[in-house]
Amino acid sequence: MTLDKTLLYEGKAKKIYSISGKPDLYIQEFKDDATAFNGLKKDKISNKGVMNTEITTLIFNYLISNSIPTHFVEKISENEMIVKKVDIIKVEVVCRNIAAGSLVKKFGFKEGLVLENPIVEYYLKSDELGDPLFTEGHIFALGLATAEEMEFIKSLTLKINGLLKKYFLDRKIKLVDFKLEFGKDTQGNIILADEISPDTCRFWDSETNEKMDKDRFRFDLGKVEDAYLEIKNRLSK
Ligand code: TMP
């Protein structure tokens, strides 16, 4: 497909383009670049863009088939997809099923503790401030979303969590935690946006608890590409 595209935004792992003659659509391109700890650690993970494009496509298609509203339209090349144009809500929504990452580091949870109920947390989407943890009170005070919108976002997040936990467990993967971003489409509807991939989730093998996600990059555990490829292969079956 040849589309006349203009770069609008380049983030740490993706680029967003507008498309000439298609005011309601964007192209989302996945890069091989990887960063961690708010950009302090930087490298490339070979073939990550291609693997995350395929993984995000598989997951978004599954969510769409289960009535979750998302920005995904279609995959158009090995590292690009067409998505609906959205205004991103500057709140990163993290949902946790098993204690890991900052829950262990900041709050003293024991890694691997299975949480009785999922924890939903909000982080301000700001590279400058290092994405601080914040509350609904801060979100309302900053005018980032209304109480009704946050209620919708939280219930959609929990519904997505239920769907994804089952989807991954069927593929012998524990969904430890993940990060979602939501946006408003041109009609004002709140829809799931961004990506869902080993960059934005923690995945553990359901039998061995082996880490199969970006923690392998963050903590120099080795076999980073192999882990992403294994996730892609298990989801493709
Ligand atoms: P955390 O335990 O480091 O707070 O991460 C929670 C989840 O959110 C984990 O699955 C990784 C994901 N995440 C992102 O997608 N982007 C980020 O910037 C951070 C810090 C975490």
Residues 6+ apart with CB under 8 A from 94: 120, 121, 122, 123, 177, 178, 179, 180
Q: Give me the pLDDT at residue 1, please.
A: 63
Residue holding tokens 């979602």? 180
Q: Give me the pLDDT at residue 2, please.
A: 78
Q: How far is the CA of 18 from the centre of ligand 1 (A)?
A: 27
Q: Give me the pLDDT at residue 237, please.
A: 87
State the 10-residue block means of pLDDT for the chain, 237 residues long: 92 98 98 96 98 98 98 98 98 99 98 98 97 98 98 98 98 99 97 98 98 98 98 96
Ligand 1 lined by 85 (C-beta under 6 Å): no
Residue holding tokens 């924890």? 119
Q: What is the pLDDT of residues 18-43, one digit of tens each?
A: 999 999 999 999 999 999 999 999 99
Six token digits for residue 80: 């690009």
Ligand 1 lined by 35 (C-beta under 6 Å): no
Q: Could you identify the atom of ligand 1 that is nearest to the CA of residue 100?
A: 2
Beta bridge partners of 180: 93
